[in-house]
Structure 1
Amino acid sequence: MYWLSQDLSFPDYSETSEEGIIAVGGDLSPERIILAYKKGIFPWFNEDEPILWWFPHDRFVLFPENLYVSKSMKKVFRDKIFTYTENKAFREVITNCSQAPRKDQDGTWITNEMIEAYCKLHEMGVAKSIEVWQNDELVGGFYGLDMGNVFCGESMFAKVSNASKAGFIQFVAKYHKKYEVIDCQVYSEHLASLGAIEIPSDIFLNYLDSQE
Structure 2
Amino acid sequence: MERGDLTPDLLLQAYAMGVFPMAESRGDPNVFWVDPRRRGILPLDGFRISRSLARRIRKGGLEVGIDRDFAATVEGCADRPETWINDTIFGLYLDLHTRGIAHSVELWRDGRLVGGVYGVTLGAAFFGESMFSRETDASKIALAFLVDRLRQGGFTLFDTQFITPHLRSLGGQEVQRAAYHRLLADALPRTADFTAPDTPDVQALLQRNTHTS
- Residues 26 and 51, structure 1, Cα contact 8 Å, conserved in 2: no
How many residues are matched?
A: 183
Structure 1 or 2: more helix by fraction: 2
Q: CA deviation at 1:154?
A: 0.3
Distance in 1 between the 2:84 and 2:7 partners? 17
Q: Deviations over 1:97-128 (max 9, x none)?
A: 11134xxxxx3211112111110010011111
Of 192, 201, 204, which residue of structure 1 is paired with 2:180?
204
Distance in 1 between the 2:174 and 2:114 partners? 29
Query: What is the one-letter code of the residue matched to 1:50?
Result: N
Q: How does 1:86-165 map to 2 (within 5 A)?
A: 86-101=66-81, 107-165=82-140
- Residues 93 and 131, structure 1, Cα contact 8 Å, conserved in 2: yes
Deviates more, 1:174-183 or 1:83-92: 174-183
Distance in 2 between the 1:203 and 1:176 partners? 21
Query: What is the one-letter code of the residue matched to 1:135?
Result: D
Q: CA deviation at 1:81?
A: 3.8
Q: Deviations over 1:178-205 (max 9, x none)?
A: 2212110012111111100001121111
Query: What is the one-letter code of the residue matched to 1:34?
Result: L
In the other structure, the counterpart of 2:13 is: 35
Query: What is the one-letter code of the residue matched to 2:96?
Result: L
Distance in 1 between the 2:17 and 2:158 partners? 15
Q: How does 1:44-59 map to 2 (within 5 A)?
A: 44-46=22-24, 47-48=27-28, 50-59=30-39
Q: Give aligned-pair identity as a percent.
A: 31
Distance in 1 between the 2:64 and 2:5 partners? 33
Unaligned runs of 5+ in 1: 5-23, 102-106
Q: How does 1:178-193 map to 2 (within 5 A)?
A: 178-193=154-169
In the other structure, the counterpart of 1:21 is: none
- Residues 28 and 86, structure 2, Cα contact 8 Å, conserved in 1: no
1:169 aligns with 2:147: no
Distance in 2 between the 1:196 and 1:26 partners? 35
- Residues 25 and 52, structure 1, Cα contact 8 Å, conserved in 2: no
Distance in 1 between the 2:93 and 2:3 partners? 17
Distance in 2 between the 1:100 and 1:170 partners? 23
Query: What is the one-letter code of the residue matched to 1:79?
Result: K
